[in-house]
Amino acid sequence: MSGHGLPCVHCGLCLDTCPTYRLLGTEADSPRGRIYIMEAIESGELELDAQAATHLSRCLGCLACESACPSGVSYGRRIDEFRPQLAARAGTEGILKNAAQSLYTNPSLVDLGLRGAALLDRFGLGALRRQAPGLGLLPSASTSGATTDNDGADWKVTPLRRSRVHQPLRARLRVALLSGCVGDQMMPQINRDSVEVLQRNGIEVVEMPGQGCCGALALHSGRRDEAVALARANLAAFARIDDVDAFVTSAAGCGALVRDYDHLLAGTDVGEEAEAFSALCRDVCELLVEVGFKTPSRPLTSAGPVAYHDACHLLHARGIAAAPRKVCEVATGSAPVDLGENNLCCGSAGSYNLDHPVLAEQLGRRKAVLARQSPPTTVAVGNVGCMLQIARALELEGVSAVVRHPVQLLAAAYRQSAGRG
């Protein structure tokens, strides 16, 4: 296969940014090693045997290596093109994995899981619950606000209908929200708060009927066709609404893929639409900073010291670092500190914690340990998956801090300011 963009010159500068290399120390679990293996498979020097597949599948897709690579190697696209082969190899194991994944993308099953988890937690059986497959990955309500702590937000209605009454009379911009799938269900309050924050800043939010999962989970698991189908469905939904200035996501993982629809669908009959769509996609914090947003009259001091962690799909996939920090700063009145090792993935990475629970947990715990060193009251991170992962790690390590999306902090600051004048 060629057409991968720029070649890897084997300099090794990406090695130490790679979470799996940092944990395992094995070259085959580094970006340079993985590229080497892929090239050797392509040239017939290696087969995609169990060992090669293990090294490749351990990749989190965090793209830290792309940030580090001076040669501009498009590692992410390259491994994604390889993933179907990996999935095909995985056989029965893969079937089980896909089943577990569909559990996560099936709304009613997730709902059931969340309820079950909340129930077990309520009866003090949280420790037991965390051992259970599937359920173990969910954090308790108190740390993440994932379940009952959603202050009334209901995933069964669209984010627009969750929000109260802030649609501006005279809008300066019109946007549609890409609400995502499982993340929206687990933390419906994030999209609701995104809508509210946008509206309070004079931005009209419109419905986008017919939209669905962005396809990231499928793509990164090697189900490329499924990802393409999902992307096409979203493009069709996009074609049905007119005159929006931007499509907004609050989940970095979705944001990274929708921005890459142009590449995913390049050369197809909808290539042009995909390009137009990708160009209009924005992360919620990115858009706020781009068009300007209000400073609340009273900063949200109750959030306490905030430690910000960069979601890989913001930092590495999109190069977005300043905007979410700015949102935190305006919301709380002081700039957040870094959680630490901010360019290192927390281990969430889509369904990674289903496939590689040990590595995922090690990475998660690293974050919690850092959080303990300079205790933040709030950990802010702009992606649902990371929020769940970090919340769970904080719980495992017994660190008391809550996890919030930056827009949640801003929404809370606005509400508090409005309430007290």
Ligand X SMILES: Cc1cc2nc3c(=O)[nH]c(=O)nc-3n(C[C@H](O)[C@H](O)[C@H](O)COP(=O)(O)OP(=O)(O)OC[C@H]3O[C@@H](n4cnc5c(N)ncnc54)[C@H](O)[C@@H]3O)c2cc1C
Which one of the spans 6-14, 48-56, 114-122, 197-205 is the region binding ligand X (CB under 6 A)? 6-14
- Contact code string over 28-57 relative to ligand SF4, x by CB under 6 A: ---xx-xx----------------------
Give the one entry of ligand X, another protein, ligand SF4, none that residue 6 binds, where binding means its C-beta sits below a cut-off of 5 to 8 angstroms depending on kind. Answer: another protein
Residue 92: which residues within 8 A CB-CB, separation 6 or more?
A: none
Instruction: Tell me the closest approach of the beta carbon of residue 265 to ligand SF4, in angstroms.
Output: 22
Closer residue to ligand X, CB minimum distance, 16 or 290: 16
Backbone angle region of 196, left / alpha / beta, with phi > 0 → left and psi within -120 to 50 → alpha: alpha
Instruction: Tell me the closest approach of the beta carbon of residue 13 to ligand X, in angstroms.
Output: 6
Q: Taking CB under 6 A as the rule, does residue 11 contact ligand X?
A: yes
Q: Residue 23 corresponds to which amino acid?
A: L
Give the one entry of ligand SF4, another protein, ligand X, none that residue 51 binds, where binding means its C-beta sits below a cut-off of 5 to 8 angstroms depending on kind. Answer: another protein
Size of the site for ligand X (CB under 6 A): 3
Exposed/middle/buried for residue 39 (C-beta within 10 Å: 0-12, 13-18, 19+):
middle
Instruction: Tell me the closest approach of the beta carbon of residue 112 to another protein, in angstroms.
Output: 37
3-state secondary structure of 10: coil
3-state secondary structure of 338: strand
Contact residue for ligand SF4 among 26, 51, 54, 71 (CB under 6 A): 71
CB 256 within 8 A of CB 216: yes
Containing 175, the helix (H) or strand (E) segment is strand 173-177
Contact residue for ligand SF4 among 41, 75, 160, 379 (CB under 6 A): 75
Q: Which CA distances in Å does 407 have to 54, 169, 284, 324?
A: 37, 22, 8, 8
Binding site for another protein (CB under 8 A): 2, 6-17, 21, 24-28, 30, 32-33, 35-37, 39-40, 42-46, 49, 51-52, 55, 68-73
Tokens of 254: 């979705």
- Nearest one of 62, 15, 90, 23 to 317, comparing CA atoms: 62
Contact residue for ligand SF4 among 37, 55, 61, 129 (CB under 6 A): 61
The separation between the first and the last C-alpha atoms of the chain, rounded to the nearest angstrom, is: 62
Instruction: Tell me the closest approach of the beta carbon of residue 66 to ligand X, in angstroms.
Output: 16
Q: Which residues bind ligand X (CB under 6 A)?
A: 11-13
